[in-house]
Structure 1
Amino acid sequence: MSAWIRMIKDEDANEALREVLDLARTPHGTVDNVMRVHSLRPSSMRGHVYLYRAALHDDTNTIPMWFQEVIASYVSMLNDCAYSLSNHWANAAHLMDDPDKAARVEKALKERRPEDEFSGGQLAMLRYAEKLTLQPGRIEEADVDAMKSAGVDDGEILEANQIIGYFNYVNRCLNGLGVTLQGDIVGYYSKDGDAS
């Protein structure tokens, strides 16, 4: 566990905090520092867990999971958030199930040239992600219309907006409190390919 503020260990948690820590547990059975950093304020952790799961892990989302993780990774790259990028790029690369494609996509995103690997609706969503992250006050209806013109429906626009908004939130929380990956298991998927 590592951050610039105190984080409470499982064994030192009171009953109320233990309940929220159990809610925040990963498939690995651990509580990642991104959630544990809220341990001094369990209600904040509870809200964060629900927001994260609604934005990125809701079964009703129709954007493919691999591309949800690409959006998350791109926002985290733009925000220079090593914590989120490490986790969500590992997930994106795993879900692509094509190391060559993953390497090309990573290079395109790092160079801020998503058009090298994406087109259509996916490219429109990545351009929206970049502008909303770096120039939020300059977003206009035309940015949303560009996604619609590329075939992205309103529900998927909302999904993309929520993923982008969530990662801008969490990147700032992590960077602002000096949260590191120390003690975390990176990525959602186990080595054998299943969520664990």
Structure 2
Amino acid sequence: MSVKPISRYSVPDVLDLPEDMKELILGVQEKAGFIPNVFLALAHRPDELRAFFNYHDAIMLREGSNLTKAEKEMIIVATSSDNHCLYCVVAHGALLRIYAKEPLIADQIATNYHKADITERQKAMLDFALKISNEAHTVGEADFEILRSHGFDDEDIWDIGAITAFFGLSNRMANLTAMRPNDEFYAMGREPR
């Protein structure tokens, strides 16, 4: 396992964090078997960590979303690759492989989603996500019509935009802090189920 620093900023001891953040992180550790470095790196500022995960959960766990867990992770992997975010490509690539039950999908999407083994609907979703990521000021009704023609409704389009925007923040913070992916993420979901 890696002994390199996980962030260029100091990382607090989990036991010294506010109780709610300590419970959150220890709960994740119990479920996953390790603490994802994003929790530790962003714990440098506990109030921001709390806000980060509250918003994360609001968009990623939203009741009534028509996007699958795998599709949400596709958005994260594609936009994180475009933003050159090693942490998010590796960590969310692992989640994508697990949710899609497909060991190749994350590498395909991170490299060139247009050549990936995904549907035309999902490619349209990722085209829109990348447009939001890189040129949101140009989004117009024609973009919505393309997505609607693939079966997305306006709430789905909001979800795509919100996930893209949130992970734009995440990508930038991961790059700012030199956040290192956990070694555990690299192998997760590589074996087909």
* TM-score scaled by length of structure 2: 0.81
CA drift of 1:53 comes to: 1.3
Cα separation, 2, equivalents of 1:111 and 1:123: 10
* 1:22 aligned partner: 23
Q: Is the 8 A contact 1:114 1:126 kept in 2?
A: no
Count the aligned residue pairs.
Answer: 185
For the pair 1:48 / 2:52, whether they are aligned, the reply is yes
Amino acid at match of 1:134: N
In structure 1, C-alpha distance between the alignment counterparts of 2:69 and 2:129, rounded to whole Å: 16
Q: Which residue of structure 1 aligns with residue 61 of structure 2? A: 57
Query: Counterpart in 1 of 2:134?
Result: 134
- Runs (5+) with no aligned partner, structure 2: none
Deviation at 1:192? 10
**Percent identity of paired positions between Structure 1 and Structure 2:** 21
Verify the 8 A CA contact 1:114 1:123 in the aligned structure 2.
Answer: no
Q: CA shift at 1:109, angstroms?
A: 4.8
- Give the gaps of 5 or more residues in structure 1: none
Q: Residue in 2 aligned with 1:186? A: 185
Given that residues 75 and 133 in structure 1 are in contact (C-alpha distance below 8 angstroms), is that contact kept between their aligned partners in structure 2? yes
Q: Does the Cα contact within 8 Å between 1:23 and 1:49 map onto a contact in 2?
A: no
Superposed displacement of residue 173, structure 1: 0.7
- Quickly say closer, same or farther: Cα 1:60–1:21, change in 2 above 3 A: farther
Q: Tell me how large the CA RMSD over aligned residues is.
A: 2.9
Q: CA deviation at 1:149?
A: 2.4
Runs (4 or more) in structure 1 with deviation over 3 Å come to 114-117, 189-193
2:44 is paired with a residue whose SS is: coil
Of 75-84 and 132-141, more deviation after overlay is shown by: 132-141
Once residues 42 and 77 of structure 1 are traced to their aligned partners in structure 2, the CA distance between those partners, rounded to angstroms, is: 27
Q: CA deviation at 1:115?
A: 7.6
Q: Cα offset for 1:19?
A: 2.6
- Give 1:10's aligned residue: 14
- Could you say if the C-alpha distance between residues 84 and 109 of structure 1 is closer, same or farther in structure 2, counting changes exceeding 3 Å? closer
Write the distance in 2 (CA, Å) between the matches of 1:123 and 1:191: 22
Deviations 1:58-77 (A, max 9, x none): 34322111111111111111
Map 1:111-190 → 2, pairs under 5 A: 111-113=112-114, 117-119=118-120, 121-182=121-182, 185-186=184-185
| Higher helix proportion | 2
TM-score (norm 1): 0.80
